[in-house]
Amino acid sequence: MPLFDMHMVLTIVGIALLGGIIGLDRTAVAQIMISQPIVAAPLIGLTLGDATTGLIVGAALELIWLLDMPVGAFVPADSTVAAVFATAIAILGSPGSERLSLTGFSILLTVLLAPVTMRADTVIRNFNSRLGQRILTPSGEPLGTILSRAHRAGLWVFFVKFFVLYLVLIPVGMIAVRLFTHAPETYHRAMIFYVKVLPLLGAALVVRKLSMKTVDRFLLAGFVMVAVLVQFVHAPALMIMLLIITGASLGARYRERQA
Amino acid sequence: MQSLGFAYAIEPVLKKLYPDRTEYEDRLRLHMEYFNTQPYLASFILGAVVRLEQDRATGGHAASDVQGLKDSLMAPLGALGDSFFWGSLKPVTAIVAAALLLTGSWWAPILYLVLYNIWHLGIRTGSFFRGYRTGGDAVDLLARYRFTSRARAFKVVSLIVLGGMIGAMPVWRTEFRPAAHAQALSIAGMAFTLVIIASLQGGNSPIKLMLGLAALCLALAYAGVI
């Protein structure tokens, strides 16, 4: 079966458009967090008819990139592009086949995107800075009109950046995924295990940034409480997590009041 | 770049306050000068500047007041906002959502959006009106929202829930659950996490760690362990 027929090309263009709109939320419009991997990936998955793959990609990438913040002049890797890209290529590159190993491989491929997205972000930021300076050059036109036009141009530039990135990267990623389907079984087993331990890597990255200590007492307290509950109280997983979230919130509030 | 957004946001107010085109354009040009802060708390500065512009148009403040206020507020509010929104609110809501998602709750991303945006939109809207009402009194803003103590509490919740998330490994949704005895799985998960945390002392990037983990998984698969 050919990988790129007309239907597939239109699907890729559609995902690039949707990805472009989602990407605007990252810095240019509203910032209500639909661009975060935990939301963006399931959205793309749902659009392509496989929300589960989106949820897997979203959970893994959200934790990994959660605290990679744009502080000062540092431009972080674009986790939105990574989430949309990984979800799209995992689903589109493997119609009908077992997806968990391909999802792992797709997530792994996102590490190659980081330098590309960081470079693209730097170029766009420089362009937008020049846009601001250009407004101040006298041209005879009403300043309000020039300002509105520059503002819209800034938004378009952001959208186009995402759209073009997806349009170029998704087909390349799909080919890589299709090639990976023919890889030996060992590689598939490795990628399945990779998906399963990625949340632990994400958790470690977050803990490192939130706490100075390697063995943080709050981390251990949460771990012991839940491990005991899971072991001895056979309550549903959701109930245990809700219990620990509520307990942690009340505990933190009490601690602050005491302080 | 934020100066362009700030000028765009305040432009309708200036248009209304200054019917004379030259004065209106002078004021607009002033707001295109360098401006950079945390985007959510920019609304506090915007509210305060609207108030000062209004006072100025009716004969109150001198021109330097408005720019002086922006200059004095943008750096501290930028640091405060980055630490509160990016460093504590976003992590705590995302960690709660990820922990619930790993236990199989498909609605966790929706909960994330709701939890985050109740705070985000509430503070963003509230601080605009507070900025307008107080004319830029940052002490009043800090007293109202208690950013520092809340950030501290959010970090504690984040760490406890992360610990709980690792402890819940035996009941994670099947896609994420390695096959092993429940008790051993929790402890192995925590030990693995602590090893990575310790290895991060040297400041490894997420990219290097993702690649390293993939290499480790491949080695384990070749060795027949997984």
Q: What is the pLDDT of residues B132-142, one digit of tens each?
A: 999 889 999 99
Q: How far apart are CA A200 and CA A198, in angstroms?
A: 5
Cβ separation B206–A68 shorter than 8 A: yes
Closest CA to A120 of A151, A150, A76, A155: A76
Alpha-carbon gap, residue A97 to B137, rounded angstroms: 60
Q: Are A202 and A66 in contact (CB under 8 A)?
A: yes
Q: Are both B82 and B47 inside the same structural domain?
A: yes
Q: Could you give the residue ranges of the DSSP H alpha helices within chain B? A: 2-17, 21-30, 42-57, 63-81, 90-102, 108-134, 138-145, 147-167, 182-199, 206-222
My answer on whether B8 and B23 are in the same domain is: yes
* Pair (B157, B67) in one structural domain: yes
Q: What percent of chain A has pLDDT over 70?
A: 98
Tokens of B155: 């970090």
- Please check whether residues B116 and B223 belong to one and the same domain: no
Long-range contacts of A216-221 (CB under 8 A, 24+ apart): A216/B159, A216/B163, A218/B156, A218/B159, A218/B160, A218/B163, A219/B159, A219/B160, A219/B162, A219/B163, A220/B163, A221/B160, A221/B163
- A206 to B29: CB separation less than 8 angstroms, yes or no: no
Q: Are residues B37 and B72 located together in one domain of the fold?
A: yes
Rounded mean pLDDT, A88-94: 92
Give the whole-angstrom CA distance, residue A148 versus residue B4.
9
Instruction: Tell me if B153 sits within 8 A of A248, measured CB to CB.
Output: no
> Are residue B159 and residue B185 in the same domain, yes or no?
no
Model pLDDT, residue A234: 78
- Name the domain boundary from B177, B195, B213: B177
Q: For position B176, what pLDDT does the model report? A: 82
Residues B162 and B96: beta-carbon distance below 8 Å:
no
Residue-level pLDDT at B11: 94
| Tokens 């939890």, residue located | B115
Same domain? For B39 and B79 the reply is yes
Residue A138's SS3 state is coil
- Contact criterion met (CB below 8 Å) for B16 and A145: no
pLDDT at B174: 82
Q: Which residue has the tokens 């050919």?
A: A2
Structure tokens at A199: 């949340």
**DSSP assignment, residue B20?**
S
8-state DSSP, B186: H
Task: Residue B104: list chain A partners with CB under 8 A.
Answer: 237-238
Query: Is the distance from CB of B103 to CB of B175 less than 8 angstroms?
Result: no
Chain A from 102 to 121: CB within 8 A of any B CB: 107-108, 110-111, 114
Structural Rg of chain B based on CA atoms: 24
Chain A residues in contact with B172 by the CB 8 A cut-off are 199, 237
Token pair for residue A5? 């027929």
Provide the pLDDT confidence category of residue A257 given band limits of 50, 70 and 90.
confident
Residues B202 and B138 in one domain: no
What's the rounded Cα separation, in Å, for the pair A134 and B176? Answer: 51
On average, the pLDDT of chain A sits at 90
Residue numbers of chain B with a pLDDT score lower than 70: 1, 60-64
CB contact under 8 A, B157 and A248: yes
State residue A130's pLDDT score: 82
What integer pLDDT is reported at residue A44 of this predicted model? 97
Res A232: pLDDT: 85
Q: Looking at the structure, do residues B35 and B130 belong to the same domain, yes or no?
A: yes
* A164-218 tens-digit pLDDT: 999 999 999 999 999 999 999 999 999 999 999 999 999 999 999 998 887 889 9
Residues, chain A? 259
Domain assignment of residue B201, given as a range: 178-226
Tell if the CB–CB gap between B109 and A38 is shorter than 8 Å: yes
Retrieve residue A57's tokens: 């990609």
Among candidate residues B137, B155, B177, the one where a domain is terminated: B177
Tell me the two tokens of residue B197: 């945390």
B62 and B172 inside one domain: yes
Confidence of residue A137 (pLDDT cuts 50, 70, 90): confident
Q: What pLDDT score does B175 carry?
A: 83
How far does Cα A251 stand from its chain's mean position?
Answer: 31
- If asked whether residues B200 and B99 sit together in one domain, one would say no
B52 and B130 fall within a common domain: yes
Residues 69-88 of B with CB under 8 A from A: 82, 86-87
pLDDT in the model for residue B61:
61
On the question of pLDDT at A38 being above 90, the answer is yes
**Residue A195: C-alpha distances to residues A108, B115, B175 (Å):** 9, 27, 8
Smallest Cβ–Cβ distance between A237 and the set B32, B168, B183 belongs to B168
Per the structure, how many domains does chain B have?
Answer: 2
Specify the pLDDT at position A250. 92
* pLDDT value for A226: 93
- Which of A154, A205, A218 comes nearest B163 by C-beta? A218
